[in-house]
Structure 1
Amino acid sequence: MWTTSSVLVDYDNLNYSVFFIEQMHDSYDISKVKKHFYEENPFNFTEERKEHIWNWFNSYFLDSIDLKYLEILSQMINSSYLSDKVKTELIFWISCVCDRVMADLTVNKIFRALKEENREIEKKKIYEYTDKLTHLEKNELEKAVNNYINILKSCNIVTYKRSSINVRKFKPSIITFAFALFYLFDQKQIPVNILRSYKFKYILLDINDVMEYLKILKKKEMIKFVVKKESFELSPKINFDELPLFLGK
C-alpha cells in the first residue's frame, strides 16, 4: 500500500533514487551513503526532511530488494555509456519491482492499454483504480498519481493532456531488458517462467517482444537461447555482476 512515504508521493523526477543509487557505486557501505546525504545535503533539505527521505529510501529500496542488485544497477547508472533515458528506464523498472502499486498500475493500466490498442486513458480512471489499491487521502492520492504520470512521461511511455494520458508505442532499451533478464536469471527462475514473467510487462513487453529481445542478446553472446520444436533453452553466458562491464564494450 502506498503511504505518505511512498516513492511516488516523495519525488517527481526520480532525483532522489538516482542520487542514492549513484552513491552506492562509490561505496557499498550504506552508513557512508547516509552520512554523505546528511552532511552534504544535496537537496538543501531541513533536518526533518532529510530524515523523512532517508527513511523512505531505506524502506522503499533497501528493505525491498537485495543490495547486490542495487550495487549492479549503481555501476550502470554511473557509467558514461548510458543515456539519461535509459537510466530513467532502469530506475522505473526497479521501482516496479519494489512497489506493488506501481507495478499493478503499470501492468493493469499502461501495459493493457498498449496491447489492447485502446491507448487513451482518462486520468479519472487512474485515480479511481489507485484509490482502491491505496486508500490515500485525496490530496496525497492526486500527488502520487500525478507523479506517477510524470515518471511515465520521463520514460517517454506516455504523453498527457489535462484529463487523459496516451500510451505511446514504447520499446525499452536492450540495456534495460538485459538488466531485467539477468535479474530473473539470478532469481533462479526456470526458462519458461522467465519467458512469461510479468516483470517484463513493467517495461511494456509481451512474450513476442521478449523473444525478439532474447535474439538480440544471443547475437551479443550474452545468453544461450535455443528454440527447439517442443522446448527451448535459455541461460546466461556471463555473470550478473559482469553485466555493466559487458554492456559498456
Structure 2
Amino acid sequence: SEVIYVAMGIDEDGHREILSFSIGGKESAYGWREVLQDLHRRGAHEVLLGVFDGLAGLEEAFKETYPKADVQRCVTHKMRNTLPKIRDTDKTEMVADLKTIYTAPDREVALANFDVVQKKWGKLYPKELKSWEEQLDVLLCFYDYPAAIWYAIYTSNPMERTNKEIRKRLRPMNSLTNMDAAEKIVYLEALGYNEKWSQRVLRGFGEAQTKADLSQKFAAKYPLAQEI
C-alpha cells in the first residue's frame, strides 16, 4: 500500500542508472518534489531532459528544481490514458493513427500527422484530441534531440519495467517486519540493476556523442558547468 519513488537517469555516454528511491505515502507531486530536491542536493545539478507521466503537478515540481531542463511527457502513458475513452470499434484504427504522430521522421511531419488525426477524429473525440493538442509541446519534445536516441527518451517504459521487477521481489514477502526491511530489498534490487547496466551503453548514444549533439545541448543550457 506504500508508494516507491524511483528516479532513473541516463548520462551523456548512454549509461542507465537508478539514482534514488524512497518508500512511503501515496504518489503525489509533493512527494516527487522532495525526491527531486534530494537529487539536486546530492549533486545532480545539470539535467537536460525529464521524462515522466502526466501526474498532476509533477511537471511544475520538476521545473522548480531544474528550470533549464526540457520536459518530455511519456507518450506510452498518454496512449494508455486516451484509449479507455475510445469506443472498442475505433480503438485499433485510432491507435494506428495516433502512432503516426510520434513515429514521424521529424517534428514537422509529426505536427502535420496530428492535423490529419484531428480532422479525422476530432468530432467524435473532441476532448481527447484537445488534450493531445494542448500537450503536443511536451509529447514531441524528443524531436529536439538526436534521432538515434529518440526510442530511449520518448517514454518512461524502462522505469515501468523496473518498477514491475521491484514489485515482484516485494510481493511474496508479505511478512516484512517494517519499512526498513522493504527498503533493504529495494536497495539490493537497485544495486543489482546498476551493476548490470554499468558496462552497457544504450543504442544510439555513441552516435549522438560522435556528432557532439548532446554535448552542444548540454553546453547551451549549462555553460558554467562546462567551464568548471
Q: Does TM, normalized by the shorter one, top 0.5?
A: no
- Considering Cα pairs closer than 8 Å and 6+ residues apart, tell me whether 1 or 2 has the greater RCO: 2
- Give the TM-score category using the shorter length: 0.3 to 0.5
